[in-house]
Amino acid sequence: MRKSLALKTILRSPLITLLTFLLIAAASFALFSRVTDYVVNIRETENARSLYHAVASLDNEVPDISVETKAVQSADGNMNGYCTVYEMEDKSWPTKEELQEFSSLPGVTLADTRYMTAGLVRDYKRILGGTGDILLEGTFNGYIDDRDKSVYEDHVRLIFDDVKVIAGESEFDIGTSIITEDVPLGDMYYAKSPFTHAFYDGLEKGSRCLMMARDSGPGSAGSGIYFAYDKGKEALCVIDGLAENYLETEPFVRQKGWADAISHNNNVHDVVYTSDMRAIPEFNEQRLKLAEGRFLAAQDTDVCVVSEDFLREHGLSVGDSISVRLGDRLCHENAFVFEGEDVPEFGDFVNLPIVGAYSSGSPNTIYVPSSLLQVKVPDDYETKPDEFSVFVEKAGDIEAFYEAAGQFAERLDLKLVFSDRGWLDVKDSFGMGALASLFTAVLYIVGAVLALFLAVYLYIGRNRKPYAIMRMLGVSGREAGISVLLPFAALAVLAAPVGGVAGLFYAQEAAKKALLRMAGNAPAGYVPNAELPINIVLLCLFSEVLFVSVA
């Protein structure tokens, strides 16, 4: 009887039935689509926000100032202009107390002072690239005079036969005969070289010579061999009639030092000690990127991060270990040396598992925790600007830190070097996007509630007369109520899933489009996730059923 009465009620008023169905479906669509969209929007906004960090350091270095001066006359009679460089002293580096104050500015999560030493890695040589030093013997066979050329009128090219490499940073074969690239003559005002036309004219063909040179590898346009005239008079000397061990004798102490330095450089890597790699500006600015694994963190004590080139060159993977001997001298720019007396001492081998690899940058830099530093830092050691930085982890703290840091740097008359991965440019859009999503969700929820109230009124409120008639005919209140509610419940069971499924589909597609736009503006490392939260979907379903039941 109930089913037949419900069916009659539905068929008796098809227009009201259709309108009620549409109202319930629309309410369901609004509730499911906007609530899930809002939750996804907030979730992904927070995920993207968590990737925005700030790194800042102070710069006290003043660049050299070049001033063009008058032209001067060179030894060969040609007029050549030149620049005089005036060097300005750097500004005072902040004291320990001032650096401590800088590290305590609002929002600073950590401060990192980085040091560098040499590191010898067992079984793995430094990856060569660019120009390398080379010490060689060769038989002098004259030179090519370029004085008649319009471009290189002040250069010569040296010819050597029967070439033998004594020590070299390169692994390719330079051949038995070479012609050096153009060598500036000491006759010229800028060369500052003892090697003049007179010197080369006095050098007899057939003389066996020891020469310090540099090579640029097999891909260079010419021979790729450059005479290192800037090393001074020891860079080219005659060795006719000397014993085979002449490099061990007193007159060749400096050349022996060059050979030792070259041998040392073949196996040396730059070891950078850091308490947390996130504070390194190059990584925060994505000039150096994490290729695989992870960065070093504050809790690490005996692991390392290397370049992906290092892994590829030596057939290693993240998770493998390397043995490193750490040097006993601090250095600023690189750990390789140029003279023999600069070669450092090394401690015992330390076994370091590789936890991550970075892309770009120097392939010969190895990052290790600060706790591995074995060198006592002198009290008068001056940290370079790019060796000290602070890290702001939370995006919400970046703006306040930037204002405070700017005032601090201005007070000390220093330059603030700041990187926020673009947060200050997008922070307003992040906030407005979340607010707009919330406002839209609230409007849709209010609309959904009103639609459900209207549906209840149309299908239940308007059925008071049939309810009263049934009561007059002796039908119990429970039976009469069920008869009125049953058609509405049937419509709700049909309409709510239709609207809900449509709303979820719409929310899914809208989230995908919105996240694609967000990914275009978000920092590197952000991975959009358009998956709808199941718990929110269930909450929407429960809320809708509860509201209809109460109504």
Chain segment 179-217, per-residue pLDDT in tens? 998 888 876 655 567 888 889 999 999 999 999 998 876
Chain segment 336-354, per-residue pLDDT in tens? 777 877 788 888 999 999 9
pLDDT at 155 over 70: yes
Q: Which residues contact 33 (CB under 8 A, 6 or more apart)?
A: 444, 502, 503, 504, 506, 507, 510
Cα dihedral across residues 106, 108, 109, 111: positive or negative: negative
The CA distance from 39 to 27, in Å, is: 18
Task: Collapse the DSSP code of 195 into the 3-class scheme (helix H, G, I; strand E, B; otherwise coil) and give the result.
Answer: coil
Which of 29, 8, 11 has its CA nearest to residue 504? 29
Which of 278, 273, 281 has its CA nearest to residue 56? 281
The CA distance from 32 to 536, in Å, is: 9
Q: What are phi and psi of 135, to 5 degrees?
A: -105, 125
Task: Collapse the DSSP code of 390 into the 3-class scheme (helix H, G, I; strand E, B; otherwise coil) and give the result.
Answer: strand
Q: Specify the pTM.
A: 0.72
pLDDT for residue 242: 94
pLDDT for residue 351: 94
pLDDT band at 272 (very low <50, low <70, confident <90, very high): very high
pLDDT for residue 263: 84
pLDDT at 528 over 80: no
pLDDT band at 79 (very low <50, low <70, confident <90, very high): very low
Chain segment 247-268, per-residue pLDDT in tens? 999 999 999 999 988 888 888 8
pLDDT at 12 over 70: no
Higher pLDDT, 305 or 531: 305
